[in-house]
Structure 1
Amino acid sequence: MVRNHRLIIRFGTIFDLATPPVASTPIQLELRYDTRDPYAVGMIFNPGRNSRAHWMIARDLLSAGLVSRSGEGNVRISPRPDNPELVVIALTTPSVQGVFETRADVLARFLNDTYAVIASGDEHRWLSVDDVLSKVLLNDQRNDRSPAEHD
């Protein structure tokens, strides 16, 4: 059963960018959950300049990372070993790595709001085959264009 209405949950917060050996740097961030993509959480980082970084992370991965080490490769999430009230989120690309910390209760509150809308295991009920195919075809079209043509 596909749901006909769309709901977006937006949650503004601050993540601390770990920048040893100096103190961490606070980064404004929006957590976003869209029922049209029920398995994912968007993280839109706004470092204060005219740039933004947008990551999509599996909602269940974020949830698991509240209580134990989760993820591998480009996304790793875990409670901070010396302070379980904090969660460490490591995001990696080939050219840069960011290690962020945030309060576990803040992340849990956001995730609880998303699970109140779509329970874990019910995500498939919200997927639209038409939406999924449109995304796949749009990505294929973008990949077929030359780099100069990309947005």
Structure 2
Amino acid sequence: MIDPHTTVHATIDFGLRSHPTTSVKVRADLSYDTRDPYAVAVDFHTGRASVQWVFARSLLADGLIAAAGLGDLRITPATDHTRVIFELTSPGGTATLEASADELADFLDRTYDEIPPSEEHAWFDFDHEMSKLA
């Protein structure tokens, strides 16, 4: 039997804003797995370790065109329209990163090639997800 699920990957260099005029390069691996059709995961590689954030694919889509997000991740277009800002907040602190809008949009478009927006429900296995809670 062929597994109908697939994963979309992208590696994008983000800039961690360490000062208003400088940034430090941070490699990020984005992934979208059709087994979890509503979510995008990003692993930010911070030297010897990585930090993973999982968030709604729709948040990325919204954040490419306007400020989006109310919780621990906010995504918004930068003043320079070629860039997108990610503001991450955790109990340990905050980080502001920026990345190429085109690279993020390309990744998002490739996820839409697998599962178009508003079709996620057809791929979501509710019973499987509920069984993980038992």
TM class, shorter-length: over 0.9
| Cα deviation 1:104-125 (Å, max 9, x = unaligned) | 0000000000011101100010
Alpha-carbon offset, residue 21 of structure 1:
4.7
Task: Tell me how far apart the structure 1 counterparts of residues 60 and 133 of structure 2 sit (CA, whole Å).
Answer: 24
Identify the residue that residue 132 of structure 1 maps to in structure 2: 129
Give the TM-score of the pair, scaled to structure 2. Answer: 0.92
Unaligned residue ranges in structure 2 (runs of 5+):
none
Equivalent positions of 1:79-90 (< 5 A) are 79-81=77-79, 83-90=80-87
Residue 14 (1) aligns with residue 13 (2):
yes
Residue 58 (1) aligns with residue 56 (2):
yes
Matched residues, number: 132
Counterpart of 1:112 (choices 109, 113, 119) is 109
Identify the residue that residue 69 of structure 1 maps to in structure 2: 67
In terms of fraction of residues, the more strand-rich structure is: 2
**Letter aligned with residue 47 of structure 1:** T
| Cα deviation 1:113-142 (Å, max 9, x = unaligned) | 0011101100010011232123333xxxxx
Give the TM-score of the pair, scaled to structure 1. Answer: 0.82
**Letter aligned with residue 120 of structure 2:** E
Task: Tell me how far apart the structure 1 counterparts of residues 131 and 95 of structure 2 sit (CA, whole Å).
Answer: 31
Identify the residue that residue 42 of structure 2 maps to in structure 1: 43
User: 4+ runs of 1 displaced by more than 6 Å?
Assistant: none
The percentage of aligned residue pairs carrying the same residue is 37
Unaligned residue ranges in structure 1 (runs of 5+):
138-151
Task: Tell me how far apart the structure 1 counterparts of residues 123 and 99 of structure 2 sit (CA, whole Å).
Answer: 29
Residue 33 (1) aligns with residue 20 (2):
no
Identify the residue that residue 145 of structure 1 maps to in structure 2: none
In terms of fraction of residues, the more helix-rich structure is: 1
